[in-house]
Chain A
Amino acid sequence: MNGDFALEVQDLHTHFFLRRGVVKAVDGVSFSVRRGEVLGLVGESGCGKSVTALSLLRLLPNEAARTVQGRVLLDGEDLLGKSDRQMRQIRGRKISMILQDPQTSLNPVFTIGNQLSEVIAKNGAGRGGSVMQQAVEVLRKVKLSAPEQRVQQYPHQLSGGMKQRVVGAIAMHRGPSVLIADEPTTALDVTIQLQYLNLLKDLQENTDMAILFITHDFGVVARMCDRVAVMYAGRIVETGPVREVFNNPSHPYTQALIASVPKMQRSAARLHTIEGQPPALSDLPEGCRFAARCPHAEARCQAAYPGAFTVGAEHAASCWRLEPA
Chain B
Amino acid sequence: MQRYIVKRLFQGVLLLIIVSTVVFAVGRLTGNPVDLLLPEEASEEERQAMIETLGLDGPVLEQFVVFIKGAVQGDLGVSIRYRQPAVDVFFSRLPNTLMLMPAAMLLAILMAIPLGILSALRRGRLTDRISGTIAVLGIATPNFWLGILLIYLFSVQLGWLPSSRMGDWSHYVLPTITLGTFLVAGFMRLIRSSMLDILDSEFVKLARIKGLSEMKVVWKHCLRNALIPVLTLWGVFMGGLVTGTIVTETVFAWPGVGRLTYEAVIFRDYPLLQAVVIMDAVLILVINLVVDILYAYVDPRIRFT
Do A and B contact each other directly (Cβ–Cβ < 8 Å)?
A: yes
A binding-site residues for B, Cβ under 8 Å: 57, 59, 61-63, 84, 88-93, 96-97, 99-101, 104-111, 118-119, 122, 154, 156-157, 167, 170-171, 174
Contact of A108 with B206 in the complex, beta carbons under 8 Å: no
**Choice from B202, B210, B224, B298 contacting A104 with Cβ under 8 Å:** B202
B167 within 8 A of A: no
- In chain A, what residue has the closest Cβ to B212? A118
Supposing A107-B221, A154-B304, A156-B301 touch, asked if A122 and B209 sit within 8 A by C-beta, the answer is no
Which 10 A-B pairs rank lowest in CB-CB distance, beginning with the nearest? A92-B211, A154-B300, A91-B211, A105-B202, A104-B202, A107-B203, A92-B210, A105-B206, A156-B301, A97-B209
Complex Cα–Cα for A107 and B123 (A): 22
Supposing A59-B205, A105-B205 touch, asked if A154 and B301 sit within 8 A by C-beta, the answer is yes
Contact of B210 with A101 in the complex, beta carbons under 8 Å: no
Contact of B124 with A63 in the complex, beta carbons under 8 Å: yes
Contact of B201 with A122 in the complex, beta carbons under 8 Å: no
Complex Cα–Cα for A106 and B300 (A): 13
Contact of A108 with B210 in the complex, beta carbons under 8 Å: no
Name 18 interchain pairs, CB-CB below 8 A, sorted by A.
Answer: A59-B208, A92-B211, A97-B209, A104-B201, A105-B202, A105-B203, A107-B206, A107-B221, A108-B225, A109-B300, A110-B220, A110-B221, A110-B224, A118-B207, A122-B212, A154-B300, A170-B206, A171-B209
B45 within 8 A of A: no
Complex Cα–Cα for A96 and B228 (A): 29
A227 → chain B, closest Cβ, in Å?
24
B73 within 8 A of A: no
Complex Cα–Cα for A109 and B207 (A): 13
Chain A residues contacting B210 (CB-CB under 8 Å) are 91-92, 96, 118-119, 122, 170
Contact of B209 with A92 in the complex, beta carbons under 8 Å: yes
Complex Cα–Cα for A63 and B300 (A): 32
Chain B residues contacting A90 (CB-CB under 8 Å) are 211
Chain B 273-305 per-residue mask, 1 if CB under 8 angstroms from chain A, else 0? 000000000000000000000000011110010
Chain B 190-214 per-residue mask, 1 if CB under 8 angstroms from chain A, else 0? 0000000000111101111111111
Chain B 107-124 per-residue mask, 1 if CB under 8 angstroms from chain A, else 0? 000000000000000011
- In chain B, what residue has the closest Cβ to A59? B208
Complex Cα–Cα for A59 and B208 (A): 8
Complex Cα–Cα for A129 and B224 (A): 29
With A61-B200, A109-B228 given, name 13 new contacts (CB 8 A). A84-B214, A90-B211, A91-B209, A99-B209, A101-B202, A105-B205, A105-B206, A106-B206, A108-B203, A108-B301, A110-B220, A154-B304, A167-B206
Complex Cα–Cα for A112 and B200 (A): 21
Contact of B205 with A108 in the complex, beta carbons under 8 Å: no
Contact of A107 with B207 in the complex, beta carbons under 8 Å: yes
A211 → chain B, closest Cβ, in Å?
15
- In chain A, what residue has the closest Cβ to B299? A109
Chain B interface residue count, CB cutoff 8 Å, equals 27
Contact of B205 with A99 in the complex, beta carbons under 8 Å: yes
Contact of B201 with A89 in the complex, beta carbons under 8 Å: no
- In chain B, what residue has the closest Cβ to A156? B301
Contact of B211 with A122 in the complex, beta carbons under 8 Å: yes
Contact of B225 with A88 in the complex, beta carbons under 8 Å: no
Chain A residues contacting B220 (CB-CB under 8 Å) are 110
Complex Cα–Cα for A85 and B228 (A): 30
Complex Cα–Cα for A93 and B210 (A): 8
Which residues of B237-288 are within 8 A (CB) of A? none
Chain B residues contacting A104 (CB-CB under 8 Å) are 201-203
Contact of B209 with A88 in the complex, beta carbons under 8 Å: no
Complex Cα–Cα for A94 and B298 (A): 33
Chain A residues contacting B301 (CB-CB under 8 Å) are 108, 154, 156
B196 → chain A, closest Cβ, in Å?
10
Chain A residues contacting B299 (CB-CB under 8 Å) are 108-109
A257 → chain B, closest Cβ, in Å?
27
Chain B 208-235 per-residue mask, 1 if CB under 8 angstroms from chain A, else 0? 1111111010001100110010000000
Contact of B211 with A93 in the complex, beta carbons under 8 Å: yes
Complex Cα–Cα for A61 and B196 (A): 11
Contact of A109 with B225 in the complex, beta carbons under 8 Å: yes
Complex Cα–Cα for A144 and B29 (A): 67
Complex Cα–Cα for A174 and B205 (A): 17
Chain B residues contacting A61 (CB-CB under 8 Å) are 200
Q: Which of A97, A101, A107, A156 has the most CB of B within 10 A?
A: A107
Chain B residues contacting A171 (CB-CB under 8 Å) are 206, 209
Supposing A61-B200, A105-B202, A109-B224 touch, asked if A156 and B300 sit within 8 A by C-beta, the answer is yes
Contact of B209 with A157 in the complex, beta carbons under 8 Å: no
Chain B residues contacting A108 (CB-CB under 8 Å) are 203, 225, 299-301
B278 → chain A, closest Cβ, in Å?
36
- In chain B, what residue has the closest Cβ to A96? B209
B152 → chain A, closest Cβ, in Å?
43
Q: Which of B202, B206, B216, B300 has the most CB of A within 10 A?
A: B206
B123 → chain A, closest Cβ, in Å?
7
Complex Cα–Cα for A92 and B210 (A): 4
Chain B residues contacting A96 (CB-CB under 8 Å) are 209-210
Contact of A63 with B213 in the complex, beta carbons under 8 Å: no
B292 → chain A, closest Cβ, in Å?
16
Chain B residues contacting A97 (CB-CB under 8 Å) are 209
Contact of A57 with B203 in the complex, beta carbons under 8 Å: no
Supposing A104-B202, A107-B203, A109-B225 touch, asked if A59 and B300 sit within 8 A by C-beta, the answer is no
Complex Cα–Cα for A147 and B288 (A): 36
B288 → chain A, closest Cβ, in Å?
20
